[in-house]
Amino acid sequence: MAENNSSNHQTTQYSAITGGVSNTLNNVAPSATSGVALISQGVASQPIFGTVVAAGGGTGRTTLTVNSVLCGNATSTIGMTNAATDGQLLIGKTAAIPAFATVTSSDSSITFTPGANTLSMQVAGYSGFVVGPASATDNALCRFDNTTGKLIQNGVITEDDTGNLSISAAVSGGNLSCIVSNTSNTASSQAFYQAQVAGGTAADAYYVANISGGQGYSWGVDNSDSDAFVLSATVTPGTTNVMRVATTGEINYSLQPAFLATMTGAQNNVTGNATLYTLQWTTEIYDQNGDFDAVSTFTAPVTGRYQFNAFFCMSGFAGGTVNGSMAFKTSNRAYELSGLAVNSSQPPNNYQYHNGSTYADMDAADTVTVTTLWSGGTLTTDVVTTTAYNYFSGKLVC
């Protein structure tokens, strides 16, 4: 104990002794409350028992609200919140002490259920939280995994940033399909796909079927062709059209085999003595699909039923009565259509006309020609090659 230089060297029980003026000893009486600290009052005053302020590492408070939260307040008395009730959250306020408050939804879209140290939240109309996989395909649309409504899984449908959808999956031995099914069996219930563009200056609205690395087809509305419906043998409508339907209902089959040819140049002294002659049609009017050789022969591009028509004129009969006939000669059979008996003196101008039509069954690569045969005379019978007197035409019917 330090030396006591005071003339009054007595102490008070339970007091704290401090140095006084002129090196005297002072007694600092204890606080009546247990646990109260001796607090400095500065360099010129005696310390006292009291509440520790923030500057001394204390709170500046003698009591604390039960279950409240303390908040910093610089060097002033420490702040203190209200006590929370079940499920309340501590909500901040600018430049002020935060407070515990009950969370609410302004539009009632979220339901909050408070409990002891818990707060349950549920979006209106939903029964639970959704949990997804650890990883997923970028842009993939998710789909539910089982019937709980809470689990999702990665999907095979993707949507890019411009809204294009893609379905891609390897389904070995099975189908990958897209089905629109209206399960209502009531009047006016419909199901359909629709492709639509914004207007007349836009491009086409169409569908595509394509074999990877192989043939593709497209069908839809060709906006650049008077809004005709087209079926094209490419993935772009309006190119290589197989069929075109005008908005007024007319249908064109621009690749359907069809031809029309006529004659030019002399074909004289070709029969009359039982010589079988194949007529020459050397001027094409049209040859849709390029199946006529511009001489005499049409070659079937596919197996099917074909219609053929011919009209021509013969003259130059000699030797009295001469018999004649015409036929469509195909790879499978000959179709003989007419037979004539004519006298060389018969008017007018000794001309005889042949015409006929037939339906023929033809296999792919089969050919057809028009033949004529006259007998009973000499080799003086001619084919009149004036265009108005002859034509050979044909088409694929089915």
Per the structure, the complete domain to which residue 26 belongs is given by: 16-56
Statement to judge: residues 222 and 309 lie in one domain = no
Find where tokens 């704290």 sit. Answer: 16
185 in a structural domain: no
Each residue of 160-172: pLDDT tens digit? 999 999 999 999 9
Number of structural domains (the chain) is 3
Q: Tell me the residue length of the chain.
A: 398
Our measurement of the distance from residue 183's CA atom to the centroid of its chain's CA atoms, rounded to an integer in Å, reads: 23
Statement to judge: residues 298 and 334 lie in one domain = yes
Statement to judge: residues 220 and 278 lie in one domain = no
360 in a structural domain: yes
User: 279-303: buried (b, 16+ CB within 10 Å) or exposed (e) per residue?
Assistant: bbbebeeebbbebbbeebebbbeee
Give me the pLDDT at residue 286, please: 97
Q: Which of 58, 92, 93 is nearest to 75 (CA)?
A: 58
Per the confidence metrics, is the pTM higher than 0.85?
no
Statement to judge: residues 386 and 319 lie in one domain = yes
238 in a structural domain: yes
155 in a structural domain: no
Give me the pLDDT at residue 5, please: 41
336 in a structural domain: yes
Which residue type occupies 264?
T
Each residue of 370-387: pLDDT tens digit? 999 998 888 888 999 886
Statement to judge: residues 321 and 341 lie in one domain = yes
Instruction: Label the pairing between strands 321-330 and 216-222.
Output: unpaired
Statement to judge: residues 281 and 296 lie in one domain = yes
In whole angstroms, give the CA distance from residue 314 to residue 275.
14
Give me the pLDDT at residue 396, please: 98
37 in a structural domain: yes
Residues of the chain predicted below pLDDT 70? 1-10, 32, 125-129, 319-321, 343-349, 387
Statement to judge: residues 227 and 321 lie in one domain = no
Statement to judge: residues 329 and 372 lie in one domain = yes
Statement to judge: residues 230 and 324 lie in one domain = no
272 in a structural domain: yes
Statement to judge: residues 262 and 245 lie in one domain = no
Structure token pair of residue 370 = 């028009």
The H-assigned helical ranges of 52-128 are none
Whether residue 352 contacts residue 340, with contact meaning beta carbons closer than 8 Å, is answered with yes
Statement to judge: residues 278 and 215 lie in one domain = no
145 in a structural domain: no
Which CATH number is 267's domain given?
A: 2.60.120.40
Residue at which a domain ends, from 213, 229, 252:
252
Give me the pLDDT at residue 1, please: 33
